[in-house]
Amino acid sequence: MGEGSATPAQALNLRADAVQTSAGGPPPLRLAGVGKEYRLYDSPRARLKSLLTGRALHRSHWALQGVSLQLERGQCLGVVGHNGAGKSTLLKLITGTVQPTQGQIERRGRITAILELGAGFHPDFTGRQNLYFGGSLIGIEHEQMAALEAEVLAFAEIGEAIDRPVKTYSSGMVVRLAFALVTAVEPDLLIIDEALAVGDGYFQKKCIDRLVEYTAAGGTLLLCSHAMYYVSAFCKQALWLRNGEVAALGDAAAVVRRYEDYLTAKSETQAGSGADAVTDAPGPARLTHAAVAGDAQLAPGGTLAFDIAWEADSPEIDLHLGVGINRNDGVEVCSFSTLHDGQPAFRGRRAYQVTLELPRLEIVKGSFTLYFFLLDGHGLHIYDRRIVPDAFAFAMTSG
């Protein structure tokens, strides 16, 4: 898309005021034409000279410009964009860490956030001391924190480490404590910036369940993540920032699809990698086998079958199965899951083996990559995944 053509936001006909829900009540957040300029000087001497003489000796860098949006109660908005796109600046402006150069920001109610690992915690204080210290920074009185302490500690599950200095904590322990704190106070607006990417799968699942409860109760969530699956599955609306400006704003699936198309076009090494099948580190449930059953060279109109097996640490874990098919150049073909097909979750056994068939599959010729996902009962948390490049191919038959 050329620089002079319509922007993705214009092409999708999306507007800031289209991001709404019917939860009622005044919106917790509204941004109107918000921008942030940073003045860059060649040296400290140049900065001092500018202050003394009043001359403009700086270069302007707009980290963010022209952002307008409104978050209604009960809404979940995902924020996506590559590093340096302006996401962190936007979140700092919303929380009041920095002030806008232009535009207006209206906030209502309590806003809590996890923006940077350990932000708001003093490294020399113990975890317990930091609960009261960090809580005071977001307006929690000592008496209220005392009432919440047991709940926070039960959720964080860091045991006796709560009375050790935070500087001795792992990154996962810091996130456990921070997430437990900011969600326990039931804020009007909760902001999460990649915190779910840190820590083990068990705690990620626990966080997802709490966020589901929070939004179901009318809480407003702003989720900034590089994990497109979380944004697509958890958020109904999404904002794509590119070079500090709004590239798209509206339906999450449409915005994520456009963003992924942009990433695919930008990458020159992704297509046709021919790498071996890869899998993430397993959690309490894991895929043990996922592959095409039978001949991987198919003709259009034939049947594509998969053999899939997985195991779980406990028969009480609810599990759903998801499958995605992409062309090897990154173009999405289709995806489906037992959850979205209305099937009950797999439950009651420790091991499963299934065969899925797609009969009369009409796909043009080419090679394709398979994506297998083992999901939780909400279809939000990924317990395990397996990616199989060059899993199968279709060849046009001669007449």
Helix (H) or strand (E) holding 249, with range, is strand 245-251
DSSP-based helix, strand, coil % in the chain, nearest 5: 30, 35, 35
With b for 16 or more beta-carbon neighbours within 10 A and e for fewer, the 45-74 pattern comes to eeeeeeeeeeeebeeeebbbbebbbbbbbb
Q: Are 128 and 152 in contact (CB under 8 A)?
A: no
| DSSP sequence for 221-233 | EEEE-S-HHHHHH
What are the Cα distances from residue 183, in Å, to 170, 189, 207, 325, 362? 20, 10, 9, 36, 47
pLDDT along the chain (399 residues), means of 10: 31 32 70 91 78 78 92 92 89 92 92 74 92 85 92 92 93 87 87 71 83 88 85 88 92 87 60 40 78 78 86 90 85 84 89 88 81 86 84 68
Q: What is the pLDDT of residue 362?
A: 75
Q: What is the pLDDT of residue 12?
A: 30
For residue 310, which of 361, 358, 367, 356 has the smallest C-alpha distance?
A: 356
Q: What is the pLDDT of residue 335?
A: 85
Place of tokens 């005044």: 26
Q: Are 352 and 384 in contact (CB under 8 A)?
A: no
| pTM more than 0.75 | no
SS3 365: coil
Report how far residue 399's alpha carbon sits from residue 389's, in angstroms, rounded to the nearest whole number.
29
- Residue 156 φ/ψ, nearest 5 degrees: -70, -35
